[in-house]
Structure 1
Amino acid sequence: MSRPAQAQPPFVPAHPPRPEKRGPFWSGFIGERAKSAVSGWSERAFVEPHIKRRLLGWTVQMPFEPASLKRVLLDNQSNYPKPDIVKKLLAPLIGKGLLSSDGTLWRDQRKIVAASFTPPAVDARIDQFTAAARDTAAQWRAGETIDMSSVATGTTMAIIADALFGGDPSLKTPEARAAIEDALVAAGAVRLSAVLGLPTLAWNGKIRRGRRAQRFLRHTLADLVRARGPDGGDDFIGGVIGELRERYEPGEALALAVDNAATFYVAGHETTANLLTWALYLLSEQPDWQAMLAEEARGTALDGDLSAKLPLLRATLDETLRLYPSVPRFDRQAAGEDRLGEYDVATGDIISIWPWVLHRHRALWDEPDRFDPTRFLGARGKAIDRFEYIPFGGGPRTCVGARFSITEALAILATWLTGWRFEALPDRSVMPTGMVTLRPEGGLPLTVMRR
């Protein structure tokens, strides 16, 4: 298929305002910056190669040069485990699961779950992905306005429940869905206490709701795991239960099974739902490009390697993740001294990695705020360094579910675009928000029309 030029005039999608200079450290704990990780970034941050700051007793370094990120995430990755404060924030919900563990425990769990996310294993799920997309679209009526953020979340939640947890109905309820949102909001709200080294007290309603949500999710998933018995069963979570039982004492194996159930249930649908939501926002603003993707999808059998079969749609998802990475920030902590480019790293320094800034950095990208999927088709003649584009992380800890997420999003969007057109509402306002993941503030209402 030919590589198209940009179909419409340049489109710069929504991003928060950028002051000329960065504000004082305490401004990150009040106002909009207190509820959105991507608010308050100055213009200078998008041109600087490295930022180093002292924050409440911590030295925080933010590298934006691919060589420095390669050293942290690959070449010297053993020196940069997950920070203790991050583990403290994650522990109430996902304990010592794959996302929050290090060393031997991380390697054991990675090996256990990896078999479920190989290319053949993921491609075998495509019919399941498309069926869920059709079931969702069957409820739409032409001309109605729908919150596609909510729709995307419901669709991916059903897929995760069916694909990884045997379709357990307790994971598809409105209560479970609300609990995930409350738990994620609370995780961002308690970061100030964590940075200060203080107990994460329930000092506001968001945190109290989040605590209740975490307990509800842990209880629900613990019941699911216990009901499976020691052998687990023949699906994803069953395999995890059985493998952990062979490696660990019963009590620890049970706890780790619940930890991983929480990890894959929450992260497994949330990130893909956000990817779908942001892609639909971008396409609703670019109807010609949307029509081109619909044409590509209409003539494609949805099986096998969808990235190869749907190159324009895959490039669109890549560009979506560049502009709106599902996780705008992740952190490491130096276990020993090191050097990143021209900057010394001391033991204990927090290395804060920001895809949100990296993916829009002016030293790395042409017109970085512009929506242009052709940059991922090689249309500009520039190879993209693997450490300047890290929506799923990098190095050994690259997200094990990356192919699952991309294939799921390709199958869902191809199904929806074949039958439906998504139109923006007049005079709408869209702005990314969130501390842990990025969603459009207030949802994403779109008008759906039959194609």
Structure 2
Amino acid sequence: MTQVLPPKPPARPDRVSLWRYVKLFRQDILSAQPARLYRAWMAEFRTPFFRSFLVNQPDLVNVLLKERPDDFPKSDRIAEGLKPLLGNSVFLTNGEVWKRQRRIIDPAFEGGRLRDTYPAMRAAAEAAVERLAGREGVVEIEEETSHAAADVIFRTLFSIPIEHEVASEVFSRFRDYQRSQPILNLAAFVPLPAWMPRFFRKGTRENAERIRALITRLTEERMAAIKAGTAPDDLATKIMTTRDPETGDRFGTEEMVDQVAIFFLAGHETSASALAWALYLMALYPEWQDKVAAEAAALEDESFAAVSRLRVSRDVFRETLRLYPPVPMMVREASCPEHFRNRDVPKGAQMVLSPWHLHRHERLWDNPDGFDPARWQTENGKQCQRDAYIPFSAGSRVCTGAGFAMVEGPLILSMILKAYRVEAVAGNEPVPVAHLTVRSKNGIWLQLSERS
């Protein structure tokens, strides 16, 4: 019996002209890459304008992310497309500025805080299940998971549901922004002069400005509540009242707006992407769907302790993040000349780390393109999880909300499948493309029915 493989974008031929590559890149960075990257340890891309190196070899990935992260800072060119929304957020900064920001942010996401945020997270999951009531039939599930993930962020960050007027508009505006802005564009690789204007797709700047204005309103209201002693004990209050242990400084309004913007991007957009793909994979593999649904009986216990019993759901979500890492590529910059795998890497070269290719690497993973949540209990799966699995990045720049995401994802997935069965829609296979995260080109359509 032939195994059904999850959808994967077609790879381009190994050799194409620069013009053809640029055209493909503008359409979608995933399908613009050649198939050889799924088996290469390192690949160089050279043009008259720049040089970039894709790195898949685990020990070199380790050097860039864990051993010498200060020598390979985030590329400033990544900010070209995201700065209108994210400003100087922790996602884009480097050096001492970044270290200061992390010292203030990280305490809000420490282990004990997950227990504190769980009731708000569960309330958002219950609301997602309720919104699906009466929706039997074909449903575009990405829209639903985006709604659910945005609700989680607003409830845990500002103690307001998605129905709140400001939260609702931020969600609507961000959905438009997401569709117009790729996570990487050519500006990430082509060194444009500082004086040259940056061009964005229609509506991108306008939506970014409006989102920031709305977040500023929420931030200023919260600062006033903190001063008055009436602020709820949520993530926003925790972050805004935390002082840098080295300088004693706290975030001002503008810097807090930058951080909230990245919390929304990282916490909403990435979770929405992973949840949608997880539900699609459950439709493709009903035997795993039934296991998740049966295990979800543990959620009759409404306490945080129930999360530890969602083992199958957690493995399913982990496997989804392997096949469809929400952020498919990350770019670092060589701050000094290097020599990797008999190649000279010049100062300023762009070092591309691709979870998309690393997670499907043919020389590392057993059955790299197959869906197999049981792999995490095998020796190969455990080894690859240590050496070749970076859905949240790794090292000092690992996503501060990784633990948060690994509670939220399995929880919402379990609660939806406890209430509903999902089935694939014949002739409507989703095509993965990279916008701000890995989404489907034309949405993910599922047949939804209530479980008896």
Same-fold status (TM-score > 0.5): yes
- Change in Cα spacing, 1:425 to 1:186, as seen in structure 2 (3 Å) is closer
1:188 to 182, 191, 195: 182
Structure 2 equivalent of residue 423 of structure 1: 423
User: 253-262 vs 400-409, which deviates more?
Assistant: 253-262
Contact 2:332 2:351 in 1 (8 A): yes
1:18 CA drift (Å): 2.2
Residue 278 of structure 1 corresponds to which residue in structure 2? 277
> How far apart are residue 81 of structure 1 and its match?
0.7
Question: What do the CA deviations read for 1:403-425 (whole angstroms, capped 9, x no partner)?
Answer: 11110111111111112111111
- How far apart, in 2, do the equivalents of 1:56 and 1:403 lie? 42
CA 1:228–1:407 in 2, change beyond 3 Å: closer, same or farther? same
State the Cα deviation string for residues 11-54 of structure 1 (Å, max 9, x = none): 211111124414233323325x4232211322211111100121
Q: Report the residue type matching 2:126 in the other structure.
A: R
State the Cα distance separating 1:373 from its structure 2 match. Answer: 1.1
Deviations 1:280-324 (A, max 9, x none): 010101111110111122245454466642221111111101110
**For 1:214, what is the secondary structure of its paired residue?**
helix
Q: Which residue of 1 aligns with 2:7?
A: 14
Report how far residue 273 of structure 1 moved: 0.7
- 1:349 aligned partner, one-letter code: A
SS of 1:267's equivalent in the other structure is helix
Q: Name the CA distance, whole Å, in 2 between partners of 1:160 and 1:378.
A: 34
Q: Counterpart of 1:125 in 2: which secondary structure?
A: helix
Counterpart in the other structure of 2:220: 226
- Equivalent pair of 1:16/1:40 in contact (CA under 8 Å): no
411-420 or 117-126: bigger deviation: 117-126
Match of 2:69 in 1: 77
Q: Distance in 2 between the 1:376 and 1:323 partners?
A: 13
Q: Are the structure 2 counterparts of residues 354 and 137 from structure 1 closer, same or farther at C-alpha, using a change threshold of 3 Å?
A: same
Q: What is the correspondence of 1:35-434 to structure 2 with a 5 Å cutoff?
A: 35-139=27-131, 140-141=133-134, 143-167=136-160, 169-173=164-168, 175-188=169-182, 191-193=185-187, 195-197=190-192, 199-202=196-199, 207-229=201-223, 231=226, 233=231, 234-243=233-242, 253-299=252-298, 301=301, 303-304=303-304, 308-378=308-378, 383-434=383-434
C-alpha contact (below 8 Å) 1:94/1:263 kept by paired residues: yes
Q: Aligned pair in 2 of structure 1 residues 185, 25: CA closer, same or farther (>3 Å)?
A: farther
Q: Hey, what's the Cα distance between the residues in 1 that align with 2:302 and 2:2?
A: 31
**1:170 touches 1:220 (CA, 8 Å); kept in 2?**
no
Q: 1:335 to 1:430 in 2, by over 3 A?
A: same
1:18 aligned counterpart, secondary structure: coil
Does the aligned pair in 2 maintain the 1:339–1:345 contact within 8 Å?
yes
Partner deviation per Cα, 1:335-371 (whole Å, 9 max, x = no partner): 1123334333221111011111111111111221111
Query: More deviation in 138-147 or 301-310?
Result: 301-310
Gaps of at least 5 residues in structure 1 are 1-7
Comparing 429-438 with 33-42, greater Cα deviation is found at 33-42
Give the secondary-structure state (helix, strand or coil) at the position aligned to 2:122: helix
Contact 1:13 1:371 in 2 (8 A): yes
Contact preservation (8 Å) 1:141, 1:448: no
TM-score, normalised relative to structure 1: 0.90
The aligned amino acid for 1:64 is N
Partner of 1:4: none
SS at match of 1:383: helix
| SS, match of residue 296 in structure 1 | helix
* Number of corresponding residues: 438
- Unaligned stretches of 5+ in structure 2? none
Change (3 A) 1:382 1:216: closer
- How far apart are residue 171 of structure 1 and its match? 4.2
Q: Is the 8 A contact 2:14 2:34 kept in 1?
A: yes
Q: What amino acid is the match of 1:167?
A: I
Q: Is contact 1:133–1:415 with CA below 8 Å preserved after alignment?
A: yes
Deviation of residue 135 (structure 1)? 1.7
8 Å CA contact retained: 2:365, 2:380: no
Alpha-carbon shift at residue 437 of structure 1 (Å): 0.7
CA pair 392-302 structure 1, distance change in 2 beyond 3 A: farther
Q: What fraction of aligned residue pairs are identical, expressed as a percent?
A: 27
Equivalent residue letter for 2:321: L
Following the alignment from structure 1 to structure 2, what is the Cα–Cα distance between the partners of residues 27 and 306? 52
TM-score normalized with structure 2 length: 0.90
Over residues 83-105 of structure 1, what are the superposed CA-to-partner deviations in whole Å (9 max), with x where a residue is unaligned? 12112332211111111111221
Name the CA shift for 1:200/1:313 in 2 (closer, same or farther; >3 Å): farther
* Separation of aligned partners in 1, 2:341 and 2:306: 38
